[in-house]
Amino acid sequence: MTVDKRVVGVYSENCYLIKKDNKGLIVDPGDEVDKILEMIGETKIVGILITHAHFDHIGALKPLLEKIDVPVFYHNINNEINVNNLIDVKEKEYVIDNFKFDVIYTKGHRNDLVTYYFKDDKMMFTGDFLFYLSVGRTDFEYGDYEEMEESIKKIKEYPTDTIIYPGHGTKTDLMFEIRYNSFLR
């Protein structure tokens, strides 16, 4: 499995293409749909994963769905995303085509925030929950510091060699974050 990243929008949000056998999943189509379509190329997209509904993570969702008709995975607790083929995710394992992933509720930055964990490939897509040496802000609407603390405890139970693909900035790994990220110590 490979991961391609495009930085999009004024907030430099990371949009990812997870690819296996010329099939793919898009994570957080935030903006600049043409840039995302260029990244997709000839890849057959089988789904879109949304970590949370901040505009910088979903701004290109509807224009992208006009080009590709695929299921959208999202924890729609606040009823903020209204699209066809919406799958309101629960904390469990999902299989779509040749991709298998777990949904982990990682609330704190927002109450709808989820992390997508690809156990077989030791990869997590954390949106604005966990960053390189930081975590997401909790002072926005639906943010909650106590929920963030619970999410941090939960995520520390996963294998430390897991690669973290955040919603902004550079990738990291869980071992590094546990050792050096002051929020995880």
Q: Across the strands, what pairs with 3?
A: 18
The pLDDT, as a whole number, for residue 171 is: 98
**How far is it, in rounded angstroms, from Cα 3 to Cα 8?**
16
- Take residue 53 and report the two structure tokens written for it: 């509904």
Give pLDDT, residue 89.
Answer: 98
The pTM assigned to this predicted structure is 0.97
pLDDT under 50 in the chain at which residues? none
pLDDT value of residue 174: 98
- In whole angstroms, what is the distance from residue 85 CA to residue 49 CA? 12
Tens-place pLDDT, residues 145-170: 999 999 999 999 999 999 999 999 99
Residue 51: the pLDDT is 98
Q: Which domains does the chain have, with CATH numbers?
A: 2-78+90-180 (3.60.15.10)
Determine phi and psi for 37, rounding to 5 degrees: -65, -35
Q: Which of 176, 175, 4, 27 is nearest to 101 (CA)?
A: 27
